Structure 1
Amino acid sequence: MKNLKKVTAALLLAVCSVFIVSCSKDDDAPAPLTPSQTLASTPWETTNAKNNKNENVALTDANVSNFVGFAYFKADGTFTMYNLDDSPKMHGDWSVSADGKTRTIVAKNDAGTVLFTRVVDITVLTKQEFTYRIYPDANNKEVYFDIIHTPTTHREPAK
């Protein structure tokens, strides 16, 4: 009888342990990032460009060279960009539409005066790639260049 009580207690303990261990909170999974959080999650480097025929375009090509460099989008809505030689390119404010389809930058000079605003279509925005599309002629959507960025460990240069 003593052995039966011990075996029963051991089985009960084992069954309870299985239930406790197998129960997990659904809250344990991290919440998916918003498009803005994804863009701000890492520094980006321009690593490729493609034309509307899906052909690689040299980053020195006049159609894309102005869009090449390192980009640092901060969670506070500000950004800085540098050329690949670490020379300053621009800084200002940025945002991504809630649906993740467009990115807007508002470039400013050191006094805070707006120099220009640029809105681009986002074609890819993941933690592994950020690609946006530019049109040399805003009235001709047939000709475009996709500017492709990938995460980088490159530290933001000091101002």
Structure 2
Amino acid sequence: MKNLKKVTAVLVLAVCSAFFFSCKKDKDPEPKSLTPGETLASVSWETTNAKNNKGENVVLTDANVVNFVGFAYFKADGTFTMFNLDDSPKMHGDWSVSADGKTRTIVAKDAEGKVLFTRVVDITVLTQQEFTYRIYPNSNDKTVFFDIIHTPTKHAEPKK
């Protein structure tokens, strides 16, 4: 009887120990929340679709959107490069996203670093799965617009 009590006590202790050690914090730490700029720079992007103000798909060769189509590489240092879908260079320069994630600004530059133009667009979606911004063919008419939709790509950045 004495031995049975000892064996039972050891078994109970072993089972309790197993529960104690297996129940220690199972939760992974909360994933780090990215700022809008970090989100944009965390992925390489490819234009995969465009939609008009009626929600209809627009072919990427359409004159209203073709200049916004390609691969985009936004780097954490605030610079970017863009290429056409055939890997020919499109533009490069500096970029930023507003702290609230509502606008993206690019400052395109020539080879000498001279500013060619600055473009500010409204962001409609910015996640690591989609980056969509809105363009207006006529800046005075906000009823007509095109949403340029990008998704992540594994396409390697072409060499300039």
- TM-score, L = length of structure 1: 0.92
Counterpart residue number, 1:47: 48
Q: Which aligned pairs between 1:1-159 and structure 2 lie closer than 5 A? A: 1-24=2-25, 28-159=29-160
Deviation at 1:25, TM superposition (A): 6.6
Distance, in Å, in 2 between the alignment partners of 1:29 and 1:16 is: 27
Distance, in Å, in 1 between the alignment partners of 2:13 and 2:77 is: 54
Distance, in Å, in 2 between the alignment partners of 1:57 and 1:121 is: 19
Deviation at 1:27, TM superposition (A): 5.8
**Count of residues in Structure 1 that have an aligned counterpart in Structure 2:** 159
Distance, in Å, in 2 between the alignment partners of 1:103 and 1:93 is: 11
Deviation at 1:133, TM superposition (A): 0.3
Consecutive unaligned residues of structure 2, counting only runs of 5 or more, are: none
The residue matched to 1:143 in structure 2 has which SS?
coil
- TM-score, L = length of structure 2: 0.91
Amino acid at match of 2:29: D
Deviation at 1:76, TM superposition (A): 1.3
Root-mean-square deviation (CA), in Å? Answer: 1.5
Distance, in Å, in 2 between the alignment partners of 1:56 and 1:157 is: 28
Amino acid at match of 2:78: G
The percentage of aligned residue pairs carrying the same residue is: 70
Post-superposition CA distance 1:116-139 (Å, at most 9, x none): 111111111111111000011111
Distance, in Å, in 1 between the alignment partners of 2:34 and 2:6 is: 52
Relative to structure 2, which stretch is displaced further, 8-17 or 114-123? 8-17
Post-superposition CA distance 1:102-154 (Å, at most 9, x none): 11111111111111111111111111111000011111111100000111111
